[in-house]
Structure 1
Amino acid sequence: MDAVAWSIARSVYPVLAGVAVVGVCLNSLLLLTTIFTKTLRSTSNILIGCCAAFDVMHATGYFIQFPILFSDYYIDSFYCSIMQFVPALGRAGGAVCVLCIGVDRMLVLLMAMRYQHTKRLYFLLCHFFTILLFWAWTVYLMFAFWMKKQQICSMPAPFHGDSLGLWTYSVTGVNILSALVYFITWQVVKRKQISKHHKKIFTSIAIVMIVEVTGWFISSILIDLSKIYVVPERRPPFHYIACLFVNSGIAVKAIVYYTICAEYRHAIRSFLGMKKNRVVSSTTSRTSRADDPNQTSISLGAIKYAQNDNSTQTE
């Protein structure tokens, strides 16, 4: 890079690193809440926790670039690939994990009875196997196209030559498939009569998917445009600017779950030792009873019994 490019990079990097710090903190909170909350043990809850772990892995890749603030930070590609190996796997795993959550929610709505009678471990193994396959593809691209050179150690740096384009297109393809799955599931949600509780859970997950996938698309478009309109010596700073969008989408996941989904809001407050809102708790309790047909029938039975008992006493 030339002097102007280094100046832009040093101006943008602190903002990018700050967003990464927020992402690490909030996703770590979401991960720990999932681990230590016994009620968050469904397949989708476990996958959301895994996504948080992958996002933490991905965000740590930006801290490796801290020396660019003080020097022209070029490093041997071998050492850079080692340092960015885990962050690259985190980005790949996070993209596939979002898809797996969408597939899991779609199966719940389309095959409810069969889903309930299938072991949770079976679904989790299928999802983890899908993630492992994409990880294997990512590792292959890093090793098959590797070249020895001096480079700026950014997160995509382990992908040399054509492998960067192949990996970017692969992640983009996964994101497009995720958007399709969530769109189909949302159409099912609108047509089927499902409880408000489950509808809110799906809505929060869908918003997270939209924010993350939109951030990735914006970042990819900006990077592609920089290849056309920006000379090679000044492209890295524009890559930093582009990465702000995808990292911002990753950072706000926990905020979306906390704001929209009462289940995660109560779990996070409990994990942090915050007092529960009694009004909200009682409202949630009434809502859950109204959503549960068994609880509703029991309540109606109790009311009828009380009415009969009162009429008997009157006679």
Structure 2
Amino acid sequence: MSFYDKLLAYYRKHYMTAHIIPGIIFGIVIDALVFVYRTPDEYILCSPAIIFHGLSYDVLVMSIVIVCVLVILCYLLLMFFLYKIRTSNVNMKNIYRSLVIITLAVMFGYFGAAIVVVISDALRINVERFHLNLFSSVLASFSTSITFFVYYTISSEYREAFDKYLGIGQLKKVVSRNRTDVTITTVMASINGSSRREGG
């Protein structure tokens, strides 16, 4: 067992917390700043690309395209090797399935956003940059937002950590308890109604 494997085995919850908490904190801080500094006479465009112009904008877009292509190729190679192994291990199948979904998310997310800009510039389509950036941001945000649901659905370890640290487990218990109470109330009302009809 390598040092990394031992670290994961003994500090699994800390490891997952270290991956989850920074993103949550960053997202909350950014959202708070957006609301604090908003003004009624300005558009709020959720796009990091809005601050780039000219050559810096072109470099940013091409960098996104290159990185996304490399990420997609790496995922495809990994899926190919996993497919060649043809393992029946449930965890490996879950990994394979999550790789497929995340690859599709990257393709339709950041990669799709960058391709929209590249095609628009190449074909010289007359689209206002504001609207183009807004549409690209929606695609890029899709890639980021779907990852949580992929991990939660496919990985039991991530699901357990999310349930524990994000309070989802408590919410599930409350919803389950409410459903049980509603079911019991409905059954009791049905029994009482039947008893009254028989007595009458």
TM range (shorter): 0.5 to 0.7
Aligned to 1:230: 126
Q: Deviations over 1:81-120 (max 9, x none)?
A: xxxxxxxxxxxxxxxxxxxxxxxxxxxxxxxxxxxxxxxx
- Matched residues in 2 for 1:236 and 1:66: separation? 22
- Matched residues in 1 for 2:133 and 2:21: separation? 24
Go from structure 1 to structure 2 and tell me whether the alpha carbon gap of 1:165 and 1:212 turns closer, same or farther (over 3 Å shift): same
- Matched residues in 1 for 2:25 and 2:118: separation? 23
- Counterpart of 1:70 in structure 2: which amino acid? P
**Is structure 2 residue 140 aligned with structure 1 residue 246?**
yes
- Counterpart of 1:177 in structure 2: which amino acid? L
Q: Could you tell me which of 49, 61, 79 is aligned with 1:156? A: 49
**Is structure 2 residue 77 aligned with structure 1 residue 184?**
yes
Q: Could you tell me which of 58, 70, 82 is aligned with 1:165? A: 58
Q: Deviations over 1:138-175 (max 9, x none)?
A: xxxxxxxxxxxxxx895224433212111221121111
**Is structure 2 residue 43 aligned with structure 1 residue 70?**
no
Alignment of 1:51-90 (within 5 A): 53=23, 56=26, 60=30, 64=34, 70-72=40-42
Alignment of 1:97-176 (within 5 A): 154-176=47-69
Displacement after TM superposition at 1:54 (Å): 9.2
Displacement after TM superposition at 1:178 (Å): 0.9
Q: Deviations over 1:214-269 (max 9, x none)?
A: 211221232234442125xx221221022111102211211111111112112212
Go from structure 1 to structure 2 and tell me whether the alpha carbon gap of 1:269 and 1:198 turns closer, same or farther (over 3 Å shift): same
What is the root-mean-square deviation in Å for CA atoms of aligned residues?
A: 4.1
Q: Is the 8 A contact 1:216 1:245 kept in 2?
A: yes
Runs of 4+ in 1 over 6 A off after TM superposition: 65-69
Where relative contact order (Cα < 8 A, 6+ residues apart) is larger, the structure is 1
Q: Could you tell me which of 153, 157, 160 is aligned with 1:259? A: 153
Query: Which runs of 5 or more residues in structure 1 are unaligned?
Result: 1-36, 75-151, 278-315
% identical equivalent positions: 20
Secondary structure of the equivalent of 1:252? helix
Displacement after TM superposition at 1:190 (Å): 1.2
Q: Is the 8 A contact 1:67 1:73 kept in 2?
A: no
Displacement after TM superposition at 1:195 (Å): 2.2
- Matched residues in 1 for 2:50 and 2:142: separation? 21
After TM superposition, the score normalised by the length of structure 2 is 0.61
Q: Could you tell me which of 92, 95, 105 is aligned with 1:198? A: 92
**Is structure 2 residue 169 aligned with structure 1 residue 274?**
yes
After TM superposition, the score normalised by the length of structure 1 is 0.41
Q: Is the 8 A contact 1:64 1:153 kept in 2?
A: no
Alignment of 1:18-29 (within 5 A): none
Go from structure 1 to structure 2 and tell me whether the alpha carbon gap of 1:154 and 1:181 turns closer, same or farther (over 3 Å shift): closer
* Number of equivalenced pairs: 159
- Counterpart of 1:71 in structure 2: which amino acid? D
- Matched residues in 1 for 2:152 and 2:54: separation? 41
Q: Is the 8 A contact 2:102 2:147 kept in 1?
A: yes
- Matched residues in 1 for 2:83 and 2:119: separation? 37
